[in-house]
Structures are given as C-alpha cells and as structure tokens.
Amino acid sequence: MICAHVAAVKNSSIATASSRADKRYSDRMIPQPEDKFMRRCFELALLGQNQTGKNPKVGAVLVYDNTIIGEGYHKKFGGPHAEIEALASVRPAERHLIPLSTLYVSLEPCLHFGKTPPCTERIIAEGIKKVVVGCSDPNPLVSGKGIQYLRQNGADVFENHLQNEARYLIRPFCANLNGLPYIVLKWAASKDGYIGKQREQIWLTNNYSKMLVHKWRTESDGILVGKNTLLTDIPRLTVRDVPGINPVRIVADRQLRTISFLNEHYPGQHWLILNQVRDGNFGPLQLIRYHNDENLEAGLRLLFDHGIHTLLVEGGNELLNSMINAGLWHEARVFSTAHILTEGIKAPQLEGKLHQQRQIGIDKLHVILNPSLHYD
C-alpha cells in the first residue's frame, strides 16, 4: 500500500568507462556535491505546490563554476519537467557553459515518453557530463533506469544527495503511485486528551492554527469528515482565512443517511458521499459506493480515481481511529491545545515518527509521519 522506495544504490560518484575515457572531463568528475544547490532544487520544487497534480514536485539547477546559470521546476501537470525548464532559463550568452555545468535535480530524470519526451535524452544531447540526483524515482517506469541511461551515455551521476529530504518532497507522488490519495489526518486535542463533546461543537484551536488549517485545505484536493462530525458541527470546510481554492468536501456515511441533511444545510452545494449503498448523483451531491465493509481503503481508492490525489481528514474520532487502525494514513497534524474539557470524545492515539513540532500561538502542532514510510 505504501511506497516502498528503496535506497539501493551507494552514495557515491561513479565514473563510467566512457566518462573516464573523456579526457576533457576526467579530471572534473563531480566533487562532493554542494548541499546548497540541492536545497535550491527543493525550494524551486515547492513552487509547483498545487500545480503538479499527481506528478511529483521537482526542482533543478545548472551550476557552472559554483554559480547557478539556470534553474527551473515542474510548474504544472503535463508541462515541461524541471530539467527542461532549467535549461530553457539559461541566458543565450551562457548557453555554451551548459556542457561544462553540473545539473542538480531533486528527482531522477525520466527515461520514458509521458506527456513530455525523456529528460535523460535531452541532458545527454546538451552535452551535460555531471548530474547530481536527490533521489531515485519510485515510478517503476523510471526507477534507476534514468540514472543508468545517463551513465551509459557518458555522464557522471552522483545519486542520493540529501535523499531523505528529496524523498520527503515527493511523498504525495509515492502515495499516488499506489493508487491512493496522500492522506493527512488532522485533529485538535484538549490538554486532557479530548477532541470534542458528544453532540456539541467545541472550538479548540486559536486563530493562527485555524489559518494554517485553511492553508492546508488549499493544498488538498479533498476534505473528508465522518458522518457524526458533519451532523454535530455542520462545518463549512471551506478556505476563508487565506487565498486559495476550496477542496471537494466528502463525508464518510456508509448507510447514506446524510442526503437530506446536506440538502438542508448546504443547499445547492457539491459534496461527495462515500457510502456502501449506491452510486449516482442527487442534485449537487455525488454518491460514491465502495464495496468493502471492513475499512475505507476501497473508498479511498475510488476517491483517487475521482481526482482526489491529496486528502485532508478532519475527524472525528471514529473515522480517524479506523483509518489509523487500517494504516490508511501518511501524515498526521495534531494540535495540542490549552483547553480542558474534563469529559467527551477521546482523541485518537497514534504511533508514528515525530517529524516536526511547532508552537502556533498557545497551540502546539505535532507533525507525525507514518513509520512505515522512510523519509528520515
């Protein structure tokens, strides 16, 4: 289910026979690559946030004599890849430096014809002899073959440079390769470990945390809530505190009991209802039926097929726990707040790898990664 991204190759620069034979470059094999150039690739890649669809976010820079002469990133799904953008950005007066430059790219260059021609061929055609790669591509169509092609065609390749950070960048892509959305669980807990009270809406986080959640919504294709959360909180689940596009709202409602409630409280508004009763449309409501009683995996795969490549799950406890128990999550973002509720609905318990801890006003945000994923 989860991307098994294997770091199989040693972290070393390997000169092929053909590159050694090239006298011009034999004394210019890649020295220890500079972190700052790969980190620039990561910064660039992030500019593609929300634009690359189920493609990975990738950044690339061309470095000549310790200076960046070209840089680019994958700007949108179906558009040119980062390497091609970096080449295109080189000024005409500096194009002759391209074969003498080192290409840094956060993800292994592609070898296959997808929506664009293979980047590996273009790199070789440009005469580039040195390539530094952040991580290999988990896509079986590429997966080491791009690096192999570059080496076979005379380039020195230094691979797995800052590979954990490079892999972290493509974690939604890894999830998508497995036919699942990238699943982010999110909840807020009181100081005494509750997420809410039965049939009563309680606001736990501060306004800064709320803004952050709105930002996360802009980065998600869909937001999923359990049926009880919908009925109790009647949440808007829209983006209001930051600019951005509203994700698709989805409710997990096995017995299809929320149709009239949604029509009454969200008149004319589009929702997906993940259910086990039927498919079809009911005005603006789209019913998506899945067939597995035990867990939501089949439903989540259908959501992926409906274009939900990143999913924010905003509670409540029952839904979150069932997803946690089924291992159906990639990342959790948990706010610990100062409120004391004394009683109510217990917050989910989660075992994971603490990736980040941040103070957001008086709230504390914990970002936890699924331990079966290997980013760091």
Nearest distance in Å: CB 212, ligand NAP:
13
Of the pair 233, 331, the CB lying nearest ligand NAP is at 233
Cα–Cα nearest to 362, from 207, 240, 212: 207
Q: Is 83 a catalytic residue?
A: yes
Q: Using CB under 6 A, which of 122, 254, 301, 306 touches ligand NAP?
A: 254
Of the pair 169, 365, the CB lying nearest ligand NAP is at 365
**Contacts of residue 218, Cβ cutoff 8 Å, sequence gap at least 6:** 50, 239, 242, 243, 244, 245, 247
Task: Compute φ and ψ for 226, nearest 5 degrees.
Answer: -75, 160
Write the single-letter amino acid at 264.
E
* CB 275, CB 289: distance < 8 Å: yes
Q: Would you state the structure tokens that stand for residue 218, as one six-digit string? A: 């802009």
- Candidates 71, 83, 314, 331; catalytic one: 83
Write each residue from 110 to 149 as x if it is in contact with ligand NAP (CB under 6 A), else as -, in one continuous string.
Answer: ----------------------------------------
**Residue 325 in the binding site for ligand NAP (CB under 6 A):** no
**Residue 346 in the binding site for ligand NAP (CB under 6 A):** no
Q: Using CB under 6 A, which of 259, 322, 339, 367 touches ligand NAP?
A: 322
List binders of ligand NAP among 155-214 (CB under 6 A): 187-188, 195-196, 201, 204
**Residue 85 in the binding site for ligand NAP (CB under 6 A):** no
Three-state SS letters, 49-115? CCCCCCCCCCEEEEEECCEEEEEEECCCCCCCCHHHHHHHCCCHHHHHHHHHCEEEEEECCCCCCCC
Sign of the torsion angle spanned by Cα atoms 240, 241, 246, 248: negative
List binders of ligand NAP among 284-303 (CB under 6 A): 295-296
Residues near ligand NAP (CB under 6 A): 187-188, 195-196, 201, 204, 225-229, 232-233, 252-255, 257, 295-296, 314-319, 322, 345
Residue numbers annotated as active site: 83
